[in-house]
């Protein structure tokens, strides 16, 4: 257990430690296993050591990027949340993780990135607002096409069109998956007994974005909200393991409500921006006027030697700098 | 700027009686009009020089064939006629935008008193011309970019490229054409293309990527074309509700075929001809040069036109075809013949006659279709001499039949099957001619002899196209 | 299809009983079919046999393109075409035949999860070994895949498919794996299955379910298919309860019902049966 490992993640929002499914999974597992990680929350995937997020940088092994690889690495470092699981429970973990990846993940990608209204209103806006210039023009579009391509390849279709039939199939699978998870969870606190394991991390990572990120087209969210034990499960983990993030969300709600007015909720600096831009425009006009001679700046030098010069200055159109 | 100086092929000594007309008076500006014909008819002339002005990249040796004939002119009328012909020949090469002829008396030391100098003033096409269109239709929009390079290497070779980018599909075509020097009718071309088509009557989608080379040459009065074509065909269902028979045809196949076509066309115009006849015979042999498809396909087209009283024209046409598969593989839906629609047997929906399965038409391996038309000018002849001449009324009688070859019954059985259950229709309508290539029709049709499974379009039917029955 | 239309179609499907002339389509058995397709086809055949529904197997070179979803196998029942095991299970359930009705909720959740485990790990591993391992691809997969077509179409289609599969592998994160890691994953998957099966005759005690059909399809095909190395089948052979499971299903549902091997998986491999 040498120097602490560094984890690079997407920044968090909406009361979550991160907005990305894989990042949430890794963060949750690290908390469950008690791994001391130095977490960097960034918004520029190019700054991560592997070029994608999440990324774990270790001294010995270099950098790893997929959640499964990161979890394996953490286990190797003896941070193992699955220590107490029986062989059968280990097998169940593999099975349910596969269920999540095959049935729930495609629908998640669809609802966040492919569904037009959700993408434009929420996802693209969040990425554009939270990434720095000039990336905020390039990144959302790039991620969008990458996710579309990923969805297309996972399904094995020749061409992917955001149409009703596709949406129905994906959502049906996802709803069924969530129902099955709920049935498996039953009334337990975690999936295997009283302490959380890697399966809990995966389920948390996949479900909590649905719970917390409000989307206009919210069919998946409605179904999730109807499954009480799963919502309880997610809020539980948030409260127990990520208390600071949920508190942040609470405190952020207050100033939003007291602001009042429609636009200003979303753009608190709008008035300031307006004034600044007007000032800038006026300054630019004045500067142009002075420089091109439309307006002369009279330098009033009350020196005895040059009264005529001053007179002449007043009538001149050309500027004479002294 | 180049010029072609050519001497006369065999110098003719001056002969014939002296006329009172001086050489200067022979300055004729344009070969199109011929004043003072009586005076000039008997005057012998000698063409001494022919110039071609305005050549850029065109090679001179290529053009000598077109203008060689001018030297043989004996008198002035002949000169004017032959130079007019030479002008037409230069224009048909497709490399000049404009050709003007100037006939002048010869000047210079070796000028004969009855010698003539002919100058062709030509303007070449630009090296590269492009076009850009956008098209919208049928739930799809596309932009089409075209590039043309006429006269690429100086001998009337032409390279064209067309690219169409649509919301649903993209297609492109590249084609290279080269005529033989001196004999423009003999030419060869190489094409590379990708086209996609959607055929809702069969619920079929087809994508073809192919390459073809063809040679054309005239023999006596006929025009022959030999072609080799290699096509990668991809078929798919257009909708989930496509019938299983069409679903069975989905997939990839390769067709490599040799074909030969012969055309004799004595009509005065390809659209609404007034006289003349057309005979077209086409055969295609696929499979012996590679590929998966193996068949022999024959089809022919005959059309006869004859002018009757009062500007009306009687036209009779007959089409037929046969597709014989070799080996035990069945024929592909993309090779079979289709019948019906506003361009073939009118009164029936597009290609909706014959064998079908669950509403998808599968086409047939043998067919025939015939039509009898009477074209008359519009009643009361409105717009005569102008716009009204583009229209015709026509009365028609169409008939046809289509079936598959199910072996074991012999040709006689198939012939009798084609002869029974004939679909036919009659009616009347208006035809509008579009340029020299296409025509529009609006007809009132009454289909008869309808068999179960056919889809009819009785009443008013609109059609647009190039080739009509 | 809208929800109402699909409900209507399900009703129609339910209204008609299973016909005698149902046909299952798969690629050509002798020369063309690949390991992954063969496994999927065998799983569907096993499932239908467990239900006691008759189906005839027909081989077509263009089965993959005929299928509405692009994956084999697919069945043509009446005038409906359904492809892949999942939709076929739903289709038969609409007709009133089901193997998993006796399971409770937790068991059903587990069954679905384990089916996804097989799809996610075993099927993906099969695809990886076939297309991403250059040896196997060059010696076995590409020649077989392109056998029904003539030159140059055969090369074009084989390389196109290989490229597509490789892109899918990188989309799901398998591109960086080595062959050893893939074998390791297969081992892990088999271990999980073996754990779950334990000493029971089927995964959910006495009655077979679609999970049994799916596992049988994949394991039997891997065991009876000869690839460039035997490493894959060795991984499975180390779990004896899985071997006896496969043998049991083969004996109960395949050998007893007809002598001529409908299994077909063995045709391009050594030996017609296990061991």
Establish if B254 touches chain C: CB-CB under 8 angstroms.
Answer: yes
Q: Which of residues 263-322 of B touch C (CB under 8 A)?
A: 290-292
For residue A88, which residues of chain C lie inside 8 Å, CB to CB?
Answer: 195-196
Of C210, C257, C220, C274, the closest CA to residue C44 belongs to C210
Helix (H, G, I), strand (E, B) or coil at A53: coil
Rounded to the nearest angstrom, the minimum Cα separation between A111 and chain C is 18
Rounded to the nearest angstrom, the minimum Cα separation between B250 and chain C is 6
Rounded to the nearest angstrom, the minimum Cα separation between C62 and chain B is 6
| Closest partner CB to B252 (pick from C60, C76, C153) | C153
**What whole-number distance in Å separates Cα of residue B237 and Cα of residue A193?**
52
Q: Give the helix ranges, DSSP H, for B148-300.
A: 244-248
| Closest partner CB to A94 (pick from C112, C164, C188) | C188
Q: CB–CB of B292 and C153 under 8 A?
A: yes
Q: For residue A163, is the peptide bond before it cis, meaning its omega torsion is within 30 degrees of 0?
A: no
Per-residue pLDDT of chain B (469 residues; tens, 9 = 90+): 444 444 444 444 444 444 444 444 444 444 444 555 555 556 788 888 888 888 888 888 888 888 888 888 888 888 888 888 888 888 888 888 888 988 888 888 777 778 888 888 989 888 898 999 888 876 678 899 999 998 888 888 899 999 998 877 889 999 999 998 878 889 999 999 999 988 889 999 999 999 999 999 999 889 999 999 999 999 999 888 889 999 999 999 999 999 999 999 999 888 888 889 999 999 999 988 888 889 999 999 999 999 988 888 999 999 999 999 988 888 999 999 999 999 999 999 999 998 988 889 999 999 999 999 999 988 877 777 777 778 889 999 999 999 888 756 777 888 888 888 899 999 999 999 888 888 899 999 999 989 888 898 888 999 888 888 8
Q: CB–CB of C110 and A184 under 8 A?
A: yes
Calculate helix-pair angle for A87-99, A198-212, nearest 10 degrees.
30
pLDDT (tens digit, 9 = 90+) per residue, C13-28? 666 888 888 999 999 9
> Which residues are within 8 A (CB) of B394 and not within 5 positions of it... i.e. 6 or more apart?
B373, B374, B375, B376, B428, B429, B430, B431, B441
For residue B242, which residues of chain C lie inside 8 Å, CB to CB?
Answer: none
- A176 and C115 Cβ atoms separated by less than 8 Å: no
| Closest partner CB to C192 (pick from A68, A91, A183) | A91
- For an interface test with B, give the residue of C59, C65, C76, C157 to mutate (most B CBs within 10 A): C65
Q: Which of residues 31-90 of C touch A (CB under 8 A)?
A: 69-71
pLDDT of residue A248: 67
Rounded to the nearest angstrom, the minimum Cα separation between C149 and chain B is 7
Longest CA pairwise span in chain C (Å): 55
DSSP B20: S
- Encoded tokens for C77: 């029942």
Of C124, C21, C125, C42, the closest CA to residue C85 belongs to C42
Q: CB–CB of C150 and B240 under 8 A?
A: no
The answer, yes or no, to whether residue C136 has pLDDT greater than 60, is yes
| Closest partner CB to B290 (pick from C62, C66, C150) | C150
Superfamily classification of domain C3-94: Glutaredoxin (3.40.30.10)
- Indicate where chain C has its CATH 3.40.30.10 domain(s): 3-94
Rounded to 10 degrees, the C-alpha dihedral B110/B111/B114/B115 comes to: 100
Count CA atoms closer than 13 A to B278's CA, side-chain side.
22
pLDDT (tens digit, 9 = 90+) per residue, A283-316? 999 999 888 887 766 665 544 444 444 444 444 4
DSSP C32: T
Token pair 């000869």 in the structure block, residue: C226
pLDDT (tens digit, 9 = 90+) per residue, C199-209? 888 888 788 99
pLDDT of residue C223: 92
End-to-end alpha carbon distance in chain C: 48
Confidence band, pLDDT 50/70/90 cuts, at residue C38: very high
Scored b (16 or more CB within 10 A) or e, C60-75 reads: bbbbbbbbbeebbbbb
Fold of C105-249: Glutathione S-transferase Yfyf (Class Pi); Chain A, domain 2 (1.20.1050)
Ramachandran area for residue B310 (φ above 0: left; ψ -120 to 50: alpha; else beta): left
Q: CB–CB of B254 and C149 under 8 A?
A: yes
Establish if B236 touches chain C: CB-CB under 8 angstroms.
Answer: yes
Q: CB–CB of B240 and C153 under 8 A?
A: no
Q: Map out the domains of chain A as residue ranges.
A: 5-76, 87-253
The answer, yes or no, to whether residue C195 has pLDDT greater than 60, is yes
**What whole-number distance in Å separates Cα of residue C137 and Cα of residue C155?**
12
> Right CATH number for A87-253 from 3.40.190.10, 1.20.1050.10, 3.30.390.30, 3.40.718.10?
1.20.1050.10
Establish if B329 touches chain C: CB-CB under 8 angstroms.
Answer: no
Q: CB–CB of C150 and B251 under 8 A?
A: no
**Residue B397, strand partner residues:** B372, B426
> Which residues are within 8 A (CB) of A232 and not within 5 positions of it... i.e. 6 or more apart?
none
Helix (H, G, I), strand (E, B) or coil at C122: helix
**What whole-number distance in Å separates Cα of residue A92 and Cα of residue A200?**
12
The contact set of A with C (CB < 8 A) is 66, 68, 87-88, 90-92, 94-96, 98-99, 101-103, 149-150, 153-154, 156-158, 164-165, 168, 176-177, 180-181, 183-184, 186
**What whole-number distance in Å separates Cα of residue B360 and Cα of residue B204?**
9
Mean pLDDT of chain C: 85
Establish if B56 touches chain C: CB-CB under 8 angstroms.
Answer: no
- Encoded tokens for B269: 């115009």
- B458 and B446 Cβ atoms separated by less than 8 Å: yes
For residue C114, which residues of chain A lie inside 8 Å, CB to CB?
Answer: 95
Establish if C189 touches chain A: CB-CB under 8 angstroms.
Answer: yes
For residue C149, which residues of chain B lie inside 8 Å, CB to CB?
Answer: 252-254, 292
The average pLDDT across A255-259 equals: 44
For residue C68, which residues of chain B lie inside 8 Å, CB to CB?
Answer: 237, 240
pLDDT of residue A160: 67
- B341 and B350 Cβ atoms separated by less than 8 Å: yes
Ramachandran area for residue B348 (φ above 0: left; ψ -120 to 50: alpha; else beta): beta
Rounded to the nearest angstrom, the minimum Cα separation between A150 and chain C is 5
Q: CB–CB of C153 and B254 under 8 A?
A: yes
- Encoded tokens for C142: 């590409």
Query: Parallel, antiparallel, or unpaired for β B46-53 and B115-124?
Result: parallel
Establish if C151 touches chain B: CB-CB under 8 angstroms.
Answer: yes
Sign of CA dihedral A259, A261, A263, A266: positive
Radius of gyration of chain A from its Cα atoms, rounded to whole angstroms: 28
Rounded to the nearest angstrom, the minimum Cα separation between B333 and chain C is 14
The yes or no reply on domain A5-76 and CATH 2.60.40.2550 is no
**What whole-number distance in Å separates Cα of residue B341 and Cα of residue A180?**
55
Confidence band, pLDDT 50/70/90 cuts, at residue C230: confident
Cα dist from B354 to A129, B357, B460, whole Å: 62, 10, 22
> Which residues are within 8 A (CB) of C51 and not within 5 positions of it... i.e. 6 or more apart?
C92, C97, C98, C99
Cα dist from B193 to B244, B394, C173, whole Å: 30, 38, 37
Q: Give the helix ranges, DSSP H, for B42-182.
A: 60-67, 76-92
């Amino acid at each position: 257990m040498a120097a602490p490992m560094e984890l690079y993640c997407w920044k968090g929002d909406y009361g979550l430690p991160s907005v990305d499914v894989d990042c949430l999974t890794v963060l949750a597992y690290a908390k469950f296993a008690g791994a001391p990680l130095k977490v960097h929350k960034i918004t520029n995937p190019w700054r991560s050591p592997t070029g994608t997020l999440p990324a774990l940088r270790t001294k010995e092994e270099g950098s790893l990027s997929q959640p499964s690889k990161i979890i394996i690495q953490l286990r190797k470092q003896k941070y193992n949340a699955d220590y107490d699981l029986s062989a059968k429970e280990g097998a169940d973990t593999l099975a349910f993780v596969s269920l999540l990846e095959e049935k729930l993940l495609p629908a998640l990608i669809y609802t966040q990135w492919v569904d037009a209204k959700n993408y434009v209103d929420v996802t693209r806006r969040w990425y554009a607002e939270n990434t720095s210039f000039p990336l905020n023009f390039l990144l959302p579009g790039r991620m969008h096409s990458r996710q579309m391509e990923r969805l297309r390849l996972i399904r094995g279709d020749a061409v992917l069109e955001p149409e009703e039939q596709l949406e129905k199939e994906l959502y049906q699978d996802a709803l069924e998956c969530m129902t099955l998870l709920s049935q498996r969870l039953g009334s337990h606190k975690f999936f295997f007994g009283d302490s959380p394991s890697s399966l809990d991390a995966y389920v948390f990572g996949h479900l909590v974005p649905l719970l917390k990120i409000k989307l206009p087209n919210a069919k998946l969210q409605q179904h999730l909200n109807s499954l009480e034990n799963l919502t309880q499960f997610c809020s539980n983990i948030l409260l127990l393991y990520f208390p600071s993030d949920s508190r942040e969300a609470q405190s952020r709600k207050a100033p939003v409500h007291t602001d009042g007015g429609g636009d200003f909720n979303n753009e608190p600096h709008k008035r300031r921006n307006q004034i600044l831009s007007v000032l800038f425009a006026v300054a630019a006009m004045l500067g142009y006027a002075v420089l091109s001679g439309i307006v002369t700046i009279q330098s009033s030098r009350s020196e005895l030697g040059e009264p005529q010069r001053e007179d002449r200055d007043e009538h001149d159109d050309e500027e004479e700098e002294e | 700027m180049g010029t072609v100086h050519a001497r006369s092929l065999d110098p003719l000594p001056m002969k014939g009686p002296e006329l009172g007309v001086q050489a200067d008076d022979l300055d004729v500006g344009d070969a199109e009009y011929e004043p003072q014909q009586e005076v000039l008819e008997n005057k012998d002339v000698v063409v001494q020089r022919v110039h071609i002005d305005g050549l850029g990249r065109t090679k001179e040796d290529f053009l000598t064939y077109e203008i060689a004939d001018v030297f043989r002119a004996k008198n002035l009328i002949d000169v004017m006629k032959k130079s007019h012909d030479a002008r037409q020949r230069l224009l048909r090469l497709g490399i000049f935008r404009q050709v003007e002829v100037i006939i002048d008396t010869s000047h210079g030391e070796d000028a004969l008193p009855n010698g003539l100098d002919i100058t062709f003033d030509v303007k070449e096409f630009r090296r590269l011309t492009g076009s850009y269109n956008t098209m919208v239709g049928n739930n799809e929009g596309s932009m089409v970019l075209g590039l043309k390079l006429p006269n690429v290497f100086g001998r009337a070779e032409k390279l064209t490229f067309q690219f169409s980018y649509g919301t649903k599909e993209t297609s492109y075509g590249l084609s290279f054409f080269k005529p033989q020097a001196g004999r423009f009718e003999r030419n060869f071309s190489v094409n590379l293309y990708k086209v996609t088509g959607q055929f809702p009557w069969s619920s079929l989608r087809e994508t073809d990527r192919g390459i073809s080379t063809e040679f054309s040459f005239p023999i006596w009065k006929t025009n022959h074309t030999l072609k080799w074509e290699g096509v990668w065909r991809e078929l798919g269902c257009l909708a989930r509700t496509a019938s299983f028979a069409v679903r069975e045809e989905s997939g990839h196949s390769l067709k490599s075929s040799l074909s030969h076509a012969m055309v004799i066309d004595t009509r005065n115009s390809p659209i609404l001809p007034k006289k003349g006849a057309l005979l077209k015979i086409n055969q295609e042999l696929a499979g012996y040069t590679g590929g998966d498809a193996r068949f022999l396909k024959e089809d022919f087209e005959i059309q006869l036109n004859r002018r009757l009283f009062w500007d009306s024209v009687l036209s009779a046409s007959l089409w037929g075809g046969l597709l014989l598969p070799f080996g035990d593989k069945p024929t592909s839906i993309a090779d079979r013949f289709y019948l019906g629609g506003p361009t073939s047997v009118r009164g029936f929906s597009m290609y909706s006659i014959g064998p079908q399965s669950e509403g998808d038409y599968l086409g047939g391996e043998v067919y025939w279709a015939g039509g009898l038309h009477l074209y008359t000018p519009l009643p009361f002849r409105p717009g005569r001499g102008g716009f009204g001449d583009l229209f015709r009324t026509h009365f028609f009688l169409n008939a046809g039949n289509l079936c598959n070859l199910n072996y074991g019954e012999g040709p006689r059985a198939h012939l009798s099957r084609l002869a029974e259950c004939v679909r036919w229709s009659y009616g009347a309508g208006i035809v509008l001619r579009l340029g020299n290539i296409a025509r529009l029709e609006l007809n009132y049709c009454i289909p008869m002899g309808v068999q179960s499974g056919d889809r009819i379009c009785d009443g008013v039917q609109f059609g647009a196209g190039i080739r009509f029955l | 299809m809208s929800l109402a239309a699909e409900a209507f179609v399900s009703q129609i499907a339910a209204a008609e009983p299973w016909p005698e002339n149902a046909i299952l389509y798969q690629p050509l058995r002798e020369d063309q079919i690949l390991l992954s397709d063969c496994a999927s086809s065998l799983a569907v055949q096993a499932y239908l046999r467990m239900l006691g529904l008759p189906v005839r197997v027909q081989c077509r070179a263009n089965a993959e393109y005929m299928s509405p979803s692009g994956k084999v196998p697919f069945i043509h029942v009446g005038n409906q075409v359904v492809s892949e095991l999942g939709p076929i299970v739903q289709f038969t359930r609409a007709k009133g035949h089901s193997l998993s009705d006796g399971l409770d909720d937790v068991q059903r959740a587990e069954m679905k999860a384990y089916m996804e485990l097989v799809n996610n790990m075993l099927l993906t591993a099969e695809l990886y070994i076939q297309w991403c391992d250059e040896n196997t691809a060059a010696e076995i997969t590409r020649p077989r895949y392109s056998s029904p077509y003539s030159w140059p179409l055969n090369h074009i289609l084989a390389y196109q498919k290989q490229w597509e599969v490789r892109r899918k592998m990188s989309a799901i994160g398998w591109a960086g794996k080595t062959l050893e890691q893939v074998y390791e994953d297969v081992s892990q998957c088999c271990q999980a299955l073996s754990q779950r099966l334990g000493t029971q005759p089927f995964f959910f005690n006495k009655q077979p379910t679609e999970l049994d059909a799916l596992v049988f399809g994949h394991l039997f095909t891997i065991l009876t298919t000869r690839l460039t190395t035997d490493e894959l089948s060795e991984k499975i052979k180390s779990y004896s309860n899985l071997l006896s499971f496969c043998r049991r299903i083969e004996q109960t549902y395949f050998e007893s019902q007809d002598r001529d091997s409908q299994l077909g998986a063995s045709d391009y491999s050594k030996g017609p049966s296990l061991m």
